[in-house]
Structure formats: C-alpha cells, structure tokens
Structure 1
C-alpha cells in the first residue's frame, strides 16, 4: 500500500498542470490607426476611408500552466459612454465615422451602449509563455468629426471552458483627430466647463486612463479658468 500510495503521489506531482492564466500587466497605449470610413447616417451608406485613430487597451497575459490557455471571448462591460461637446467652432464634418474596433458598442436604441457586450475571439497563450493582447473599443457609429467620445469599460476574458478572467477597467478616448483639434483650438469657455464636468465623472471611475484624457482635462481647466 505504501508503494502504491507513493506512486500515486509521484504521478500527481509529474502530471501536467492545467492552463493557469493571469494578467501580468495592462495599460492604455497611445493613439494608433484604426481602419474607418465616413458614414451617412440618413441614407445608411458608408463612404470613403478616412484617417482615424484610437487608444488600444494592451493586456499582457501569463500562462503559469503546462497546457495552452485559449481565450474564446472578450466581454466589455461599458460603464460610461460620453460625447464631448465641440468647443472649437470649426464645424461638424462628416455625418458619422464607422471604425473597425475589436469591440463595437451599439449606440441605438438609446441606452444600448451601457452594459456587457461580448465578442468572440481566438487567442492562445502557450504554456509558460507571456503574450500581449491588444483591443480597441468604441461606438459603432460616432457622430460628427469634432466630437470625441470617452469610454469607461470593465474588461473580462473568457477562456478554457468558460472561466472569466478580470482584465481590468479602462477609460479611453476615441477619434484622436477631434482630440487634437480640441487641445489646439478650443476657444469656448462655457463649452470647456461643460466638457470638464463630463470628464470629472470619468475620473471618478476607478480605471487605467489614457494620457489624452489628462491633456483634455488640463486644456479645459485652463480655458474655463479664463
């Protein structure tokens, strides 16, 4: 019996460990290009390709197990979706922008944006390896060219038989051409104060935030202070 018990212990000790996935590090990267087209919302027709950039969420994953870890879905639980007013007085531009985000947030009907949105993926982390997953998240259709959108989102990764891994909370901004215009050319003090109040609700949300949000807030604070 002693020999048999020892053999079982040795076998258990040497058996491959299942996938053991953890988030080693996460961040919001600087603006990166995302394919996008202009969009006529009235005629429901997509137009030409247009320059567009947004903040990717970078999640570094580590698999401590002896078997591959397979991520099969991403759940983006949207807590905030805010549109900043145009403080530049430069006009609206195209009726809308449709970007090829990893996860598109529906904006219709009203209220559809908030809550969890799941996107199927296939992302494998090999045994003992570290790998990085990059995600872009934003509205399905973004209205007008000089209106930045701010998104606050909790991210979970579904892997290996339905387990959910908490991958952090993030606050990001989309449409960086609009962001650049706001930082360089905002001139309306009342508009800046309104946008500052919106951003303060985002800053109360515990999350990793893009540096562009800091730049926008600093810009609006200076303008609102006169």
Structure 2
C-alpha cells in the first residue's frame, strides 16, 4: 500500500465521490450522508481532483480545496483525499483501475449526482467505468427526470436496480446502478464561486 492512501479492510464497502470541490459545501456533505445511509456504505472517499493546469481559470490549488473540505466534514466515515494526484491519474477509468489493484477485496461504488448521470455518456471510457464498479446516483434539484431518461440510463436500462435494492448495490456484479431519491439540497459550487466573485468586485 502506498504511503498516505486511505486504509480499507477487505470486504469494506467504499463509495467514491469525485469532483473538483471548488469549493466543497453542505450540498456535498448532504449527498455523502445520503449515500452512506442508503447504499449502506462503510466509508465514502472524496476524490478531490487535481484540476487541469492548462485551464486559465482552473480550480483553486488542490491543497487549499482539500483543507477547506476537511473543515466542513465531521463524519469519521468520510475521508477527504487527493488520491488522483497521489496515483498520477486523471481519468476516472484509470483511477478505478489503480484503486482496484491496490484494494482488490474492497467493494467500491462510484457515486455521482443525477446531473452527472445526464452527461455520463460523454465521459471518456464511460462503459468501462460502468463495467468496473456499481454506480450509485443521487437525486439533485431539477435533475431526477433528466437522469432517468439520459442516454447512459437508456443504454444501461437492463442494469438499473430498483431503489429498494440500493442497500445491496455494493455487493452486485457490475454493470449495476441505482438512482436514489433524497431530500434535496440546492447548494452548488458554481453558485458559491459566483457569490464570492461578486463580493470581491
């Protein structure tokens, strides 16, 4: 095991929530709590992405985003990580392959908001991602119905599990996915960034 990576025992159910978290906010905390409960996970790891250094207006520095996330997360079952920077991966497919090699007996579940499910078919190697791990989709304001009828959802319709089986998702052989309806939290990182920019001008 590489130094600095999270500890996970064989058989543990670990949800992976990737994103820039720029900044992390209570909406992220909310969907994490819902995922822990509804998918019956032992842990959720936030994978704070390094960001694209070629973008002129990229995210805040990784260490800053990780530190800010740790200030708002108080659940010991949630670990804030910079795994992709540590592993040197950028694509979700490569990150999952590396984690499954490092933790061969951990039951990973990829977590995403319903808004991401809508454009999941545009992700690089999205079918390979779906074939590697079960996917837990969490409802977000205005995105529940679009997620249900998205191109990826239609192409994976045979693999969709009823919401009543969400607690068994981690034990299922992929491809398998479930969408859970949860109380909605309207916070978003982009809205927070816009408010911060307005206060600076």
Shared fold, TM over 0.5 = no
From the CA coordinates, give the structure whose radius of gyration is larger.
Answer: 1
The structure that is helix-richer by fraction is 2
Query: Structure 2 length normalisation: TM-score?
Result: 0.29
The structure that is strand-richer by fraction is 1
